[in-house]
Chains A and B, each alone.
Chain A
Amino acid sequence: MAKDKPGALEIKTFADHHVITQPNPLQNVLRRVAEKDLDDPVARAEKALAGLSGEFKNWMEIEADRLPAAHAAVRKGA
């Protein structure tokens, strides 16, 4: 992964605290693009989540099954 190694920290000391500024090691992942090249990662992610929505019912059933089992375990231990 092409990222700069973090540079030297800049530390400013006060009576009861220090302010530490480090060069941003993530600056290279942010880049300028032309508007025509701009994509929409949020829309892509929302679409992918919509694709998962068919599984939500099954997930809720799994969680609903786990809950009474957990409750029973707690009551047994109490």
Chain B
Amino acid sequence: MFRIDFNKLRFLVCDDNPHMRRILRTLLHSFGAREVYESEDGATALEMYSHYVPDIVITDWSMPIFDGLELAQMIRQPESKGNPYAPIIMLTGHSEKRRVTVARDAGVTEFLAKPISAKGLYQRILNVVANPRPFIKTKTYFGPDRRRNTSNTYIGPERRVGGEVEILQQPSLLDKARSTV
């Protein structure tokens, strides 16, 4: 069986609603996290991101000054301060496919629709810790590989130029740990 040592993780929580921040703080502390930094707007979030270098960012979409989407785009600038590869989990009350697509294209790693559950948040965190995706850089995108699955039977257009793409997939830590049994 596997467990995440939350006390070794540093979180940045970005939400303009203090009650939502309280809920997230409660959940993360209950999971075992000790370092949880909070911001109530996009500008403060970016500043704290550069200063504290969190391991995981959990951000709302709608925030003042600049929103979670813009925050994700700024974090994902390859030349930005801080770590452009940090997992970003976006929370939002909007769960339409268009929104999910826009967030994905901004470089968000995981998406969680409100109202959130403890289980949903835990699973997203487990996913970013145990199953990190390689990053893709193109002229218009830098972020986690937007393809979650590869299919040998796919017959649609190949949007990536360069022949068959070999994705350097990191083995899932869970699979790697199982194989050592």
Contact = CB atoms under 8 A, between A and B. Distances in A.
Whether chain B is bound by chain A comes out as yes
Interface of A: 1-3, 6, 10, 12, 14-22, 24-35, 38-39, 41-42, 44-49, 52, 59, 62-63
8 contacts: A3-B55, A14-B163, A17-B160, A18-B138, A24-B132, A31-B5, A33-B3, A39-B3
Interface in B4-31: 4-6, 8-10, 19, 22-23, 26-27, 29-31
Nearest to A10: B168
B119 A42 contact: yes
Interface string B118-153: 110110000011101011111100000100000000
B161 interface: yes
Contacts of A34: 1
Nearest to A46: B118
Contact of B132 (A1, A3, A15, A26): A26
Instruction: Place the interface of chain B in its size category.
Output: 35 or more
Contacts, number: 134
B28 to A, nearest CB: 8
Contacts of B137: 17-18, 20
- For the residues of B in contact with A, the DSSP-based class is mixed
Interface of B: 1-6, 8-10, 19, 22-23, 26-27, 29-32, 35, 55, 83, 85, 118-119, 121-122, 128-130, 132, 134-139, 145, 160-163, 165-170, 173-174, 177
A24 B170 contact: yes
Contacts of A24: 132, 170, 173
Nearest to B165: A14
A33 B9 CA distance: 18
A34 B3 CA distance: 10
Contacts of A3: 8, 55
B1 A33 contact: yes
A44 B27 CA distance: 8
Contacts of B138: 16-18
B10 A1 contact: yes
A25 B165 CA distance: 25
A11 to B, nearest CB: 8
Nearest to A38: B1
Contacts of A48: 26-27, 29-30
A35 B162 contact: no
